[in-house]
Amino acid sequence: MTSPDLAVEHKEPGFIGKYLFSLDHKMIAKQYLLTGLVMAVVGGYLAYVFRSQLAWPNQPVWGYGSVGPDKYNSLVTLHGTIMVFWVAMPVLLGGFGNFLIPLLIGADDMAFPRLNMMSYWVFLLSTVVLVASFFVPGGAAAGGWTFYPPLSGDPSYTGVTWGGHLWLLAVALEFVSVLMGGVNFLTTALNMRAKGMTLLRMPLMVWMQLCASVLFMLSVGPLVAGAVMLLLDRTVGTGFFMPKAGGDPLLYQHLFWFFGHPEVYVILLPGLGVLTEVIPAFARKTIFGYKAIVYSTLAAGALSFIVWAHHQFISGIDPRLAMPFSLTTIIISVPFSIVIFSLIATFWGASIEYSSAMLFAISMLAEFLVGGVTGIFNGSAAADIYLHDTYFVVAHFHYTLFPAAILAMFAGIYYWFPKMFGRKMSETLGKLHFWTTIVSFNVIFLPLFAIGTHGHHRRIYDPTQFDWLKPFQHLHVVATIATIVLLLAQIPFIVNFFRSMFAGEVADRNPWKATTLEWTAPSPPGHGNFDRPITVYRGPYEYSVPEATDDWLPQDAPA
């Protein structure tokens, strides 16, 4: 013991200390993961309700009742909010980040375990506040997930008073929780690495988590200020964003998207990080262009701060601003192309094993490509003036966020489940889950591109009110049936997840024959993670090494 921060506690915690107020990064990760998955069910249910309203307008929805225009707005608002802030962020950052950062760098825990526990409990509090907002008089917030004023600035405009206040409070608490987590991630990865784990030997997942944490930290501040200002507008009656008092609603949009665009990458980067671990392991090849991926990620992170106004091309910004923001938006696809092409190049000449994790990883690449390519239409100001706020945009961002958050999440869960719980998940159920999920997802969103290009606005609660939208009604029905299939397709996953936890095939330390450090620890790792001292001698992806007795060398294999 050389210094106090290296001390590993010997005390065996009781039930409450182990499962509720745990200081162990692995238990905190599981808490985040489970909370995120539960919220995914809530978010999916909301999507089912409003999609049913769109397909069969004004019919009572099974399991909900009749929707009505005011509730419709609440449903879409909370669907977006939950999926971004209460599913993607807790699973990808809170879950994978907490579980993997210490294990991947060879540390025994996070740098600040108490801060880590606190970040989860603040997150849980934010979840409770958000869920409570469904049950207050007036129902949940109905201002859209971006919560633009003036609509959101005065409770009488949407008829939702407490729901809106609680929404702002919940989002602010969630931000605080992620900020605390980010301080921990950054300090841990910079100061807790095992001997020999230089920065450029870190698995790419760690780089992605770090970059995501820095992006979040540097972009969220102005929106925290903006959220406080908006809350004062709603409660005290100030006019920060209200034109009637001299305020400017456009300012809120700037604050929101200055955060909102980096936020897309806060979600995307950990998703890509899952791929950088899963693909080499099942392709049995070293990753193509490790340094190119690191530097491209950093470049994309820097660029993500100067693209935000592409969300505001029709909000009345100065047209002279539209062109530079179009340019930076199109430039940012260059570093991301480098990352994506590097991942694709990793498949070249590989001996690929199509496990469930790998299938989800490959599909994430393919589907994200569709999202990325359609983003170029939106990024160009001229095209965006037509496409803005149509279903084309809805389809586009679901083709980016569904792969980044949901497909990558499944890839990660199938891949790291043996390390988390010491047992493997069923491959048969995994493949059933994969094929039903991926087909139904595409059947939902491909039709939405079509109706979007015909000019179908995204915030219409009853499309049959308009004669010119009637020819597309059958596409709404197709998309809604596919939504129901997509939700049912998650049943094999839920069964697989909980059954495998107790009855799955027992996994040894390294079931996938992978090279990174988490696989040298026991499955599941005990308190303190590693049962022997770790020294790192090589890079993270040494697969198919000719001189090795197996075809791979773990990072701690001596040179």
Partner 1 sequence: MSVAAVAIPEREKTSLPSGRLGMWWFLAGELVIFGGLIACYVLYRLKHADWAEHAAHVLWQAGAVNTIVLLTSSLTIVLAFRSVDEGNYKKAANQMALTIAIGFLFVVIKTFEYTHEIQAGITPKTNLFWSFYFLMTGLHALHVVAGLVAIAVVMIGVRKGQNLQRVEYVGLYWHLVDVIWIFLFPLLYIASG
Task: Using CB under 8 A, list all residues that contact partner 1.
Answer: 1-2, 5-8, 10, 12, 106-108, 111-112, 115, 179, 182-184, 186-187, 190-198, 217-226, 228-229, 232, 236-240, 245-248, 251, 255, 258, 522, 524-534
- Cβ 210 to partner 1, closest distance in Å? 11
- Cβ closest to partner 1, residue 146 vs residue 333: 146
Give CA–CA dist 74/209, Å, rounded.
Answer: 32
Cα atoms in the 13 Å half-sphere on the side-chain side of 10: 0
304 three-state secondary structure: helix
Rounded CA separation 184/10 (Å): 22
Q: Which residue has the tokens 């094999």?
A: 492
Q: How far is the CB of 181 from partner 1 (least distance, A)?
A: 11
**Least separation, in Å, of the C-beta of 281 and partner 1?**
24
Q: Could you tell me the maximum CA-CA distance found in the chain, to the nearest angstrom? A: 76
Q: How far is the CB of 369 from partner 1 (least distance, A)?
A: 33
Residue 290 sits at the vertex; the CA angle it makes with 289 and 294, to the nearest 5 degrees, is: 115
Closer Cβ to partner 1, 422 or 455, answer by number: 422
Give the shortest CB-89-to-partner 1 separation in angstroms. 16
The DSSP string of 55-79 is HSTTSPBTTTB--HHHHHHHHHHHH
Residue 556, SS3? coil
Nearer to partner 1, 236 or 559 (CB): 236
Instruction: Name the residue nearer to partner 1 (CB basis): 63 or 533.
Output: 533
Which one, 112 or 347, has the nearer CB to partner 1?
112
CB of 224 to partner 1, least distance (A): 5
- Residue whose CB is less far from partner 1, 108 or 277: 108
Among candidates 510, 437, 412, 502, which has minimal Cα distance to 94? 412
Residue number with CB closer to partner 1 (64 or 112): 112
Nearer to partner 1, 78 or 215 (CB): 215
Of 179 and 357, CB closest to partner 1: 179
Contact at 8 Å (CB) between 61 and 52?
yes
| 149, 158, 391, 458 from 479: Cα distances, Å | 31, 28, 12, 14
Nearer to partner 1, 12 or 547 (CB): 12
Least distance between partner 1 and beta carbon 147 (Å)? 16
Phi, psi dihedral angles at 2 (to 5 degrees)? -100, -35
Give kind and range of the element (H or E) at residue 307.
none
Q: How far apart are CB 404 and partner 1 at their closest, in Å?
A: 24
- Residue 138 zone, left/alpha/beta (φ > 0; ψ -120 to 50; rest): left
> Contact, 301 vs 215, CB < 8 A?
yes
Closest CA to 114 of 9, 3, 219: 9
Residue 168 beta carbon to partner 1: minimum distance, rounded to whole angstroms = 15
Gap between the Cα atoms of 382 and 386, Å rounded: 7
32 vs 259 by CB, closer to partner 1:
259
HSE (side-chain half, CA atoms, 13 Å) at 63: 10
Q: Pick the closest to residue 98 from 39, 32, 36 (CA basis).
A: 32
In the complex with partner 1, the residue whose CB is nearer, 177 or 496, is 177
User: Toward partner 1, which CB reaches closer, 220 or 401?
Assistant: 220
CA dihedral defined by 132, 135, 136, 141, rounded to 10 degrees?
80
d(CA 236, CA 239): 9
User: CB of residue 334 vs partner 1: minimum separation in angstroms?
Assistant: 26
Classify 301 as helix, strand or coil.
helix
Separation CA 225–CA 182 (nearest Å)? 19
Residue 340 CB, shortest distance to partner 1, in Å, is: 30
The kind and range of the H/E element at 552 are: strand 552-553
Task: Give the shortest CB-336-to-partner 1 separation in angstroms.
Answer: 24
- Min. distance of Cβ 115 from partner 1 in angstroms? 8
Asked whether the beta carbons of 379 and 372 are under 8 A apart, the reply is: no
Region label for 426, one of left (φ > 0), alpha (ψ between -120 and 50) or beta (otherwise)? beta
